[in-house]
Structure 1
């Protein structure tokens, strides 16, 4: 077997691989010898079929396997000996297309090699990390929001008209063509106006009614309503308003705390304070991570594989096009050309991705099974009632596993770099942190 270099230009590599006819024949014979003891053929005892007959019967089929294994073996040995790592799937082409049995096999191998990534002294990196404490104002706002979600309703003055956001206690009978239909009747039903819990048009027609008033609510069920016999049908609901109640926020006391699983108000405040500071810490880390990536982008420079940059630029352009055209759900659309801005962003992403991957590999950073399980659980919560199916989907989908593993790995590598960098903490206000987050998000959208 011969491997001859044909191209060495930057990261581009080309090689001519020749597998001799003798090597192929030897591999075919080796396969036949392995299989001979198990082969049965009419007129011969098991394992006693002559090699010549086996070769005539199975040789042609085994020749294809021998070719593939020989070429794969040559490629593996080449990458092992050269230390090259292909940026993308190598291109392999058979160059003697008129090949016939007895000829050598000639193959052209081409790829872009991943570059050597320079090492960086992390102690030269200085990063400022924002620290925000949960102050009394933020705590009071959070408590007020909780009280709002735990709101009660109290009766309005006699003669008050129902407003959007009020709760009305009603009796109703739904009729189609003058006859009550199944599931359209209820008594003492508490309905919050504006909650959109009834079909469109129902709640709006109750605004302005008073206790004791009646109204025939006329409307049509949606065309896609789940009950086929009512879908798109015009109906009338005879409604009687029995009570009009105004929303009232719950009092901030121990009883409110118990509604949210705390022993008392002091415990609830402690929980809220801890949650707020965890949120601030997460936002501050995102800002610090962006600053770190900006520093790395400036400090690190090496040649990038054009194929990776072009693929990333195309993906960025495609994603942004769909964000600008949300009505197009599939991929039946004109070809999308990557712009210079897309390529510039792609170069940053590819460079930082390769650098972080190299740092992680050298530092032996790994994502544990427990961390992956937690990530899958977090993602599964987005599909209530279908968690099991999501777990099975991830388990049988290596690409999805990689999508979940990649950000975990990146964050662990970033933490490793933070450990070696000079990180100083600066206490700031919630508003300062929010401004920094908004500036970061604005850069992402630009």
Structure 2
């Protein structure tokens, strides 16, 4: 265990290496230097003490010290710990990430005041070469079918549905059905009251498309005619979100009420003006521009991911474990919350808890390492977040959330503002690295 004497003045601080970024600071000051702090505490007690036979603040000092001896010593010790620790950190230029704990406090009259502090400090980083990092050019070519698909998705809100009379159900159709399910000859709605639309439905609209509704259900409807009834069995997946249905064979009886075909309107000046305020030519130009911008943004994101992968693979240093654990806990809680919102049963989450936490821990290590790398690059390149940068970010957020910027500012908490500043900061560093990157023709 290596020891380093960092200060030879009245305050001494010896740093012991524990492991990685974790250190033990052994701090000591002469007893004489504790007296001014104790004097402040005593004076404060004298001013505020309520003692029988005396007005507030008028009791003799010696009586106050005698009655409140333990309280005075306890508060003096607390103040000394805070102030001496802060002084030791400042004088020795220690970049502490997290204070883990305080131990071995020694506070006895006439003897040096000493204590030990366990801390995690910022890692020592040797930066890899971050200029001319090779990144792919990316494919920003626009295909005609991409324009067609985008236009279709935009005008879909104006689509109409017509009854199909002359054929059977085909992929891409919409059908109107009534149905009910049974398990072991008993109605599913009675066996599993919370099954909802999985148990039965009346005049339900369903799109004939793979992955829609219950797995395998819509496949059974292909080829049916209007007015036809059909009974079939569906085996639910082993990992189905509703536990009572996992791996169960459910028998469904379906009555096909109608077949509907979606008909898109013709793309005319009148339609595009109604949708966007633009004529057809301007509308198509705007669509193409939007696709191009999205492709360019996607290419930039992939390039940034390449830069991140390069930095993480090229630098090796110890991480502050307390920071990793804190980040992992946040990622873990977020993952659990999102899974619950998607309907994952608590029992399943309990089974996978260790697996989810392990993934969270790996993500946290990656994120924490990247944080320190980008911070170090920013320090070297004098990159910081300006008021203008933050203002732009707030305006963009306000636009996305459809709220006035000033109202959004009032709505944001301090933590949310700090989080936004961090996002802006790291994107600014990544933008700098991308400007200095070497664009190459590879995927």
Q: Give the TM-score, by structure 1 length.
A: 0.62
Q: Does 1:407 align with 2:423?
A: yes
> CA shift at 1:249, angstroms?
1.4
Of 259, 269, 285, the residue aligned with 2:284 is: 269
Of 365, 384, 409, the residue aligned with 2:384 is: 365
Of 29, 54, 61, the residue aligned with 2:71 is: 61
Cα pair 1:90 1:111 within 8 Å, conserved: yes
Of 6, 9, 14, the residue aligned with 1:5 is: 14
> CA shift at 1:132, angstroms?
0.9
In the alignment, which residue of structure 1 is the partner of 2:118? 110
Distance 1:149 1:76, change over 3 A: same
Of 280, 284, 291, the residue aligned with 2:306 is: 291
Q: Does 1:143 align with 2:151?
A: yes
> CA shift at 1:106, angstroms?
3.2
Matched residue pairs, number?
A: 362
- For 1:59 and 1:83, the matched residues in 2 are separated by 36
* Alignment gaps of 5+ in structure 2: 1-9, 177-202, 230-256
Distance 1:333 1:209, change over 3 A: closer
- For 2:37 and 2:259, the matched residues in 1 are separated by 89
> CA shift at 1:125, angstroms?
3.3
- For 2:204 and 2:320, the matched residues in 1 are separated by 61
Distance 1:347 1:147, change over 3 A: closer
- For 2:433 and 2:105, the matched residues in 1 are separated by 47
* Alignment gaps of 5+ in structure 1: 169-189, 216-240, 427-431, 437-446
In the alignment, which residue of structure 2 is the partner of 1:177? none
- For 1:162 and 1:125, the matched residues in 2 are separated by 54
Distance 1:117 1:42, change over 3 A: same
Aligned counterparts, 1:175-190, within 5 A = none
> CA shift at 1:88, angstroms?
3.0
Q: Give the TM-score, by structure 2 length.
A: 0.62
Q: Does 1:72 align with 2:91?
A: no
Deviations 1:61-86 (A, max 9, x none): 23222212211222212221222212
Distance 1:166 1:135, change over 3 A: closer
Of 276, 281, 285, the residue aligned with 2:296 is: 281
In the alignment, which residue of structure 2 is the partner of 1:228? none
In the alignment, which residue of structure 1 is the partner of 2:272? 257
Deviations 1:254-301 (A, max 9, x none): 233134223211121122112211211221011101221233235444
Distance 1:141 1:24, change over 3 A: same
